[in-house]
Amino acid sequence: MAFTFTNSKGKKYFLHSTTVKRPSGKNTVLYFFSSTMKAGQTLDAVPAGKKVVEMKSGLPVLKNT
């Protein structure tokens, strides 16, 4: 089951990740929240060393702990 976060306005977001290749050749993992589930990109838990914080606009973001 995908990790979900419900903001203060009652909207539900799902945590996703994707890997991108940088011009230097290094692979970087990007984490993002979406209101819809995207197959194959959802995560079951928050990555180690990160926590979910809600911005003033109501959007969830990951921050380092």
**Residue 9: per-residue pLDDT:** 95
**Residue 56: per-residue pLDDT:** 96
SS3 content of the chain, % helix, strand, coil (to 5): 0, 50, 50
| Tally of structural domains, the chain | 1
Expressed as residue numbers, the domain containing 10 is: 4-64
DSSP 47: P
Q: Helices H, strands E: what count in the chain?
A: 0, 5
**Residue 59: per-residue pLDDT:** 97
Alpha-carbon dihedral sign for residues 46, 50, 53, 58:
negative
**Residue 1: per-residue pLDDT:** 84
Q: What is the pLDDT along the chain (65 residues), one digit of tens a residue?
A: 899 999 999 999 999 999 999 999 999 999 999 999 998 999 999 999 999 999 999 999 999 99
In whole angstroms, give the CA distance from residue 58 to residue 60. Answer: 6
